[in-house]
């Protein structure tokens, strides 16, 4: 153990580990983000070698990843809260991170995203909760999705959500596939998704969303079953539009369990959110 590199200056972040038996546990994981990678001079190739720093935490019991929600709306689209109030209410609810992902199309994308970016920047300066600027590209022609995903990122969206083909709206056929091919981070409520597109999402590492939103949640069971079968990555989001849509850690677990998700898979789904968040530089 002495041969391993310790980095005491690294930020300590919550994480989910192990067996849950309530005794001391040791965990380690390589931090592969910018700050977690050390430049090591020399050997063995006489030049500079980039190597992940292994960070050890010794903790009592199991630390939990608190609620992370990567799909929410403020009054910059059809939500009811100012972005700042949305973030604060999520913080009070016990959230660890929230992405504000208001609906955008060609008409408002350059108006909405910079304002969310600014709000998140100020919030992150003073609040513990991580506020992540994002956007949900909604109801645009599938042929324009690739261009709009790139534009959203250029404007500062760190999470790009694609408004998928629900069973309750006239979303254009081909939308699910276009978002996957465009490399959106999350395909939201993709109710009508085909098995072929589930496999494609897996290969492109696009997260498929389980939603707690009432009118879109009817297709959760089918999605969960197929995604688990084909090992496609899942994520749980609330698609919050009003304060009562935010959920706490307990409801998150109960909701996933109610869909028949076993505890190992629940942990994986939670870690999928966590992994995306720790790789976002704000
Ligand atoms: Zn949506
Ligand atoms: Zn939404």
Dihedral in degrees, nearest 10, Cα atoms 258, 263, 266, 268? -160
Predicted local distance difference test score (pLDDT) of residue 157: 98
The rounded Å distance from CA 165 to ligand 1 centre is 9
The rounded Å distance from CA 261 to ligand 1 centre is 23
- pLDDT (tens digit per residue) in 201-244: 999 999 999 999 998 999 999 999 999 999 999 999 999 999 99
Closest among 237, 226, 157 to 194, alpha carbons compared: 226
Predicted local distance difference test score (pLDDT) of residue 62: 60
Predicted local distance difference test score (pLDDT) of residue 63: 66
Q: What residue ranges of the chain are covered by domains with CATH 3.20.20.140? A: 68-278
The rounded Å distance from CA 281 to ligand 2 centre is 23
Predicted local distance difference test score (pLDDT) of residue 14: 41
The rounded Å distance from CA 195 to ligand 1 centre is 21
Residue 143's pLDDT band, with cuts at 50, 70 and 90, is: very high
Separation between Cα atoms, residue 142 and residue 279, nearest integer Å: 28
Neighbouring-strand partners of residue 57: 27
Query: At residue 3, does pLDDT exceed 50?
Result: no
DSSP H helical segments within 129-219, as ranges? 145-154, 175-182, 195-204
Predicted local distance difference test score (pLDDT) of residue 177: 98
Percent of the chain at pLDDT exceeding 90:
76
Query: At residue 47, does pLDDT exceed 60?
Result: no
Query: At residue 53, does pLDDT exceed 50?
Result: no
Q: Taking the mean position of all CA atoms in its chain, how far away is CA 234?
A: 10
Separation between Cα atoms, residue 89 and residue 175, nearest integer Å: 32
Which ligand neighbours the alpha carbon of 100 most closely? 2
**Rounded average pLDDT over 41-50:** 39
Predicted local distance difference test score (pLDDT) of residue 64: 86
Distances (CA, A) of 166 to 169, 186, 192: 6, 14, 6
> Mean pLDDT in the chain?
84
- pLDDT (tens digit per residue) in 148-193: 999 999 999 999 999 999 999 999 999 999 999 999 999 999 999 9
Query: For residues 60 and 193, which has the higher predicted lDDT (pLDDT)?
Result: 193
The rounded Å distance from CA 189 to ligand 1 centre is 7
Question: Strands 103-104, 68-69: parallel, antiparallel or unpaired by DSSP?
Answer: unpaired
Which ligand neighbours the alpha carbon of 216 most closely? 1
| Class level of CATH domain 68-278 | alpha beta
DSSP 206: P
Residue 49's pLDDT band, with cuts at 50, 70 and 90, is: very low
- Whether the model clears a pTM of 0.85, i.e. scores above it, the answer is no
Closest among 49, 54, 50, 74 to 10, alpha carbons compared: 54
Predicted local distance difference test score (pLDDT) of residue 215: 87
Query: At residue 111, does pLDDT exceed 70?
Result: yes
Q: Where are the beta strands (DSSP E) in the chain?
A: 24-31, 37-40, 49-60, 68-69, 97-100, 103-104, 130-137, 159-163, 186-188, 207-211, 234-237
């Amino acid at each position: 153990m002495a041969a391993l590199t310790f980095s005491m200056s690294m930020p300590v972040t919550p994480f989910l580990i192990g067996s849950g038996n309530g005794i001391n546990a040791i965990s380690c994981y390589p931090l592969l983000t910018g700050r977690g990678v050390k430049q090591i001079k020399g050997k063995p190739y006489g030049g500079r070698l980039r190597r992940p720093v292994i960070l050890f935490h010794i903790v009592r019991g199991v630390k939990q990843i608190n609620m992370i929600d990567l799909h929410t709306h403020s009054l910059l689209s059809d939500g009811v809260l100012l972005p700042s109030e949305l973030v604060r209410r999520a913080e009070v609810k016990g959230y660890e991170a929230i992405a504000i992902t208001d609906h955008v199309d060609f008409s408002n994308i350059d108006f909405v995203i910079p304002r969310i970016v600014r709000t998140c920047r100020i919030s992150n300066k003073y609040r513990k909760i991580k506020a992540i600027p994002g956007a949900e590209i909604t109801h645009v022609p599938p042929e324009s999705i690739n261009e709009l995903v790139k534009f959203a990122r250029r404007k500062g969206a760190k999470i790009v959500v694609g408004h998928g083909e629900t069973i309750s709206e006239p979303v254009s056929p081909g939308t699910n596939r276009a978002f996957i091919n465009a490399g959106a981070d999350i395909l939201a409520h993709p109710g009508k998704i085909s098995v072929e597109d589930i496999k494609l999402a897996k290969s492109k590492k696009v997260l498929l969303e389980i939603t707690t939103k009432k009118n879109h949640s009817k297709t959760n069971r089918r999605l969960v079953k197929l995604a688990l079968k084909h090992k496609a990555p899942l994520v749980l989001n609330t698609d919050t539009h009003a304060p009562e849509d935010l959920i706490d850690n307990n409801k998150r677990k109960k909701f996933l369990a109610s869909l028949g998700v076993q505890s190992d898979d629940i942990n994986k789904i939670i870690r999928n959110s966590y992994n995306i968040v720790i790789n976002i530089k704000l």
